[in-house]
Amino acid sequence: MKIGVFDSGVGGLSVANAIETALPEHEIIYVTDVEHVPYGTKPAVEILGYVEPILRGLAGQGCEIIVIACNTVSTTLITELRAAIPVPLIAMEPMVKPAAALTKSGVIAVCATPTTLRSARYAWLKETYASGLKIIEPDCSNWSYMIEHKQIDEKQIETSVESAIADGADVIVLACTHYHWIEKEIQQIAAHRAQVIQPEQAVIVELKRQIDAHSSSQAS
């Protein structure tokens, strides 16, 4: 099966690589939007104009499922995109629910783009799963830019992670796929003090479920 994977930039590549490793029998078509990355500082309405034609293109190329490997797009536009695109879309969103189940201190840190942090979906996740918790949202507004341009400011990342841990966070949620490329650094900084979580494996589980459902619907 052809599976489309989309992100604004290099974040989704880490997701596409993980899917390729887990499901080598499928063909992965990975597309980005080099012209408009980063998305995370742009309003949702502007992003919709960029994403919709790209996803239509993937569906037109024969992708039977598309993974939106972008929290910014998933948290702001998934309803509009599901209505517009004629194939199933798998979304990625901040792991607030798993973080709430893991924390012992009652404090979690969510690293995400400004657009994700402003989204109604993220507000809903917090209200539904983490209403009794303290949530720290470090300023990551330039992280996807610096990762995209390979200009990683390690000091800035360290300061943000140390500050979240000093405020009591024992779970750090990576809620932007670009940050998967600095996951090891964040884990090293947080070592033995906070767990770092991100949704790649959960997405693969959901993708397998949808592939199986698709195959059985075609067989019947």
- Asked whether the beta carbons of 122 and 72 are under 8 A apart, the reply is no
Q: Could you say whether residue 11 binds ligand DGL (CB under 6 A)?
A: yes
- Asked whether the beta carbons of 87 and 24 are under 8 A apart, the reply is no
Which residues contact residue 220 at a Cβ distance below 8 angstroms, ignoring those fewer than 6 apart? none
3 versus 147: smaller Cβ distance to ligand DGL: 147
By annotation, the residues acting in catalysis are 70, 176
- Residue 111 CA to residue 181 CA, distance in Å, equals 13
Of residues 155, 156, 151, 188, the one with CA closest to residue 172: 188
Q: Could you say whether residue 96 binds ligand DGL (CB under 6 A)?
A: no
Contact window for ligand DGL (CB under 6 A) among 7-15, 55-63, 78-86, 103-111: 7-15
Q: Could you say whether residue 199 binds ligand DGL (CB under 6 A)?
A: no
Contact window for ligand DGL (CB under 6 A) among 103-111, 154-162, 174-182, 198-206: 174-182
Rg of the chain (C-alpha set): 17
Bridge partners, 31 (sequence order) = 6
- Residue 110 CA to residue 90 CA, distance in Å, equals 21
Nearest approach, Cβ of residue 192 and ligand DGL (Å): 27
Q: Could you say whether residue 198 binds ligand DGL (CB under 6 A)?
A: no
63 versus 174: smaller Cβ distance to ligand DGL: 174
Nearest approach, Cβ of residue 79 and ligand DGL (Å): 17
- Interface residue with ligand DGL among 14, 103, 119, 177 (CB under 6 A) is 177
Burial of 16 (0-12, 13-18, 19+ CB in 10 A): buried
- Residue 57 CA to residue 186 CA, distance in Å, equals 35
- Interface residue with ligand DGL among 32, 76, 103, 113 (CB under 6 A) is 113
Half-sphere CA count of 169, side-chain side, radius 13 A? 27
Contact window for ligand DGL (CB under 6 A) among 17-25, 131-139, 173-181, 187-195: 173-181
- Residues within the interface to ligand DGL (CB under 6 A): 7-9, 11, 37-40, 70-72, 113, 116, 144, 176-178
